[in-house]
């Protein structure tokens, strides 16, 4: 018996949209929407629908209109990713308004870091049909099954929606994300994301190889979200990178994992596998100082392996030069002395360190801020001369320090619309003076000219 299959062009599809993020002026980089690639990977593996991705960082509002003309009639739903800040929520609402002008617009579903902490507030907005809290690769496939006719909305993990004036809630969507698989690169024009990154290499692509973090920095969203750490194992990761290097002639990879080195063993295996493949690819990633301390205890030559595998730059949040702030406010689980020691070790391995500090914590004294600048100055004397960056403390919803900030007089937006223009690059806290802001800006030293840092780092 022959069965009539729907022609591929008539298959249902899911639209996934990444609204534009406004960065600081003269920021050089472009990022792939890994959130959407992660969700798309699972939807495609299930095989019920096609997936198309719209990246607002690469495409204009006019192109969004044309994209809707092309795809909306086949769409089961439109998934939109948002994080707090960067105007992304404002862009998201503009995009959804445009979609909703069309007859037959399918349900619009919001997810992403902002939704993970302010789900109910998001779901309450008129333009949001549903919010999905937690990892989208666990919730989206369930939602799509429901929208295609099997299953009940009440069973979709992390679902929040208002129906008849009542809040409908699905079961908890645990932040455990399981093993990560290869991304469906074919959904994006990868070439568009290759950049000359001054601190890495002329043809650098960004990459996220793990989700979550094990540390407990009290200002950080990762802590709130409690996402269990999961990753790609070293060998498939190196294999994927080898294929990307071959396909796009890459000379660099910049990892945007919250902390690439949570498992020093995986990191060393990665470095060794990368070096063994002789790919001649430079790379960069974020590290917590405790990863270096733990690897020393485990007698793993973490920094040696990192340097030998072509790593050019390690980004590390030190946050403060005051032991009291590190211990009582940030809970960084490290002392000022240990932070300096790790930075010196990184420099001794010929790796460019990029160290970030935060000033303006609630309850921080001027003397403690001075200690931060003293440590920054000491670290700046290292060779190769590190990049240093001073951020202003920004209260992120859901974090322990957000509650402290409220006690110290910070006024938080109360609606999704209210968060639409929240800007973390400007001081938002009433106790932070103009002088503190100006001093932070003056101390930020970044390498912005392509090639400038590479020239400083020994080959």
- The residue among 258 and 303 lying less far from ligand SF4, judged by its C-beta, is 258
The single residue listed with the structure tokens 């792939």 is 32
Min dist CB 442 to ligand SF4, Å, is 24
From the list ligand SF4, ligand B12, none, which binds 223 (C-beta under 5 to 8 Å, kind-based)? ligand SF4
Q: Which is nearer to ligand SF4, 54 or 396 (by Cβ)?
A: 396
Strands lying side by side in the sheet with 159-163: 50-55, 13-18, 75-81, 108-111, 130-132, 159-163, 166-169
d(CA 130, CA 106): 11
Residues that bind ligand B12 (CB under 6 A): 21-23, 31, 33-35, 38-39, 57, 79-81, 83-86, 109, 111-114, 116-117, 132, 135-137, 139-140, 177, 208, 211, 220-222, 256-258, 396, 423-425
Between 95 and 232, CB nearer to ligand SF4: 232
* Residue 257 binding target from ligand B12, ligand SF4, none, CB below 5 to 8 Å by type: ligand B12
Q: Based on CB atoms, which residue is closest to ligand SF4, 147 or 392?
A: 392
CB of 337 to ligand B12, least distance (A): 26
The whole-angstrom distance between residue 196's C-alpha and the CA centroid of its chain comes to: 20
Q: Alpha-carbon distance 262 to 166, whole Å?
A: 41
At 317, which helix (H) or strand (E)? strand 311-319
Q: Given the rule CB under 6 A, which residues bind ligand SF4?
A: 213, 215, 217, 220, 222-223, 258-259, 288, 317
Sign of CA dihedral 415, 34, 390, 364: positive
Give 217 or 244: the residue with its C-beta nearer to ligand SF4.
Answer: 217
Residue number of the CB closest to ligand B12 reads 111
Contact partner at residue 382 from ligand SF4, ligand B12, none, CB < 5 to 8 Å by partner kind: none
Shortest separation between residue 285's beta carbon and ligand SF4, angstroms: 12
Tokens of 30: 């472009």
* For ligand SF4, the closer CB: 222 or 240: 222
Distance, in Å, from the CA atom of 61 to the CA atom of 94, rounded to the nearest integer, reads 9
Place of tokens 């679902």: 159
Give the dihedral of Cα atoms 398, 24, 251, 288; nearest 10 deg: -40
């Amino acid at each position: 018996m022959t069965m009539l299959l729907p022609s591929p062009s008539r298959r249902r599809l899911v639209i996934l949209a990444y609204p534009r993020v406004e960065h600081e002026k003269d920021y050089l980089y472009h990022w792939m929407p890994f959130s959407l690639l992660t969700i798309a990977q699972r939807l495609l593996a299930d095989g019920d629908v096609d997936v198309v991705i719209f990246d607002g960082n690469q495409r204009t509002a006019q192109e969004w209109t044309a994209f809707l003309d092309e795809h909306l009639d086949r769409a089961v739903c439109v998934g939109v990713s948002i994080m707090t800040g960067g105007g992304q929520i404002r862009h998201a609402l503009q995009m959804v308004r445009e979609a909703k002008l069309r007859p037959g617009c399918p349900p619009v579903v919001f997810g992403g870091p902002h939704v993970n902490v302010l789900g109910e507030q998001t779901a309450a907005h008129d333009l949001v049909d549903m919010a999905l809290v937690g990892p989208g690769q666990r919730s989206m496939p369930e939602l799509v099954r429901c929208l295609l006719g099997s299953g009940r909305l009440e069973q979709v993990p992390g679902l929040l929606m208002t129906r008849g004036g009542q809040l409908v809630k699905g079961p908890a969507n645990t932040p455990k994300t399981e093993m990560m698989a290869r991304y469906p690169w074919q959904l994006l024009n990868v070439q568009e994301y290759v950049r000359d990154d001054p601190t890495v290499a002329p043809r650098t692509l960004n990459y996220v190889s793990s989700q979550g973090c094990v540390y407990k920095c009290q200002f950080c969203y990762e802590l709130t979200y409690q996402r269990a750490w999961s990753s790609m194992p070293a060998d498939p990761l190196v294999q994927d990178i080898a294929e990307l290097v071959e396909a796009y002639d890459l000379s660099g990879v910049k990892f945007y994992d919250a902390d690439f080195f949570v498992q020093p063993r995986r990191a060393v295996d990665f470095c060794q596998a990368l070096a063994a493949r002789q790919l001649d690819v430079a790379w960069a990633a974020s590290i917590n100082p405790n990863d270096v301390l733990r690897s020393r205890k485990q007698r793993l030559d973490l920094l040696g392996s990192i340097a030998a595998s072509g790593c050019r730059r390690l980004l590390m949040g030190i946050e403060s030069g005051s032991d009291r702030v590190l211990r009582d406010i940030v809970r960084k689980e490290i002392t000022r002395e240990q932070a300096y020691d790790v930075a010196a070790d990184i420099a001794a391995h010929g790796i460019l360190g990029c160290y970030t500090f935060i000033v303006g914590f609630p309850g921080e004294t001027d003397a403690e801020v001075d200690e931060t600048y003293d440590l920054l100055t000491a670290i700046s004397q290292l060779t190769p001369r590190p990049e240093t960056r001073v951020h202003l403390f920004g209260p992120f919803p859901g974090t322990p320090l957000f509650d402290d900030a409220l006690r110290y007089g910070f006024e938080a937006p109360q609606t999704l619309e209210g968060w639409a223009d929240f800007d973390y690059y400007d001081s938002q806290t009433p106790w932070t003076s103009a002088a503190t802001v100006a001093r932070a800006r003056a101390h930020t030293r970044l390498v912005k000219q392509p090639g400038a840092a590479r020239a400083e780092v020994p080959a």
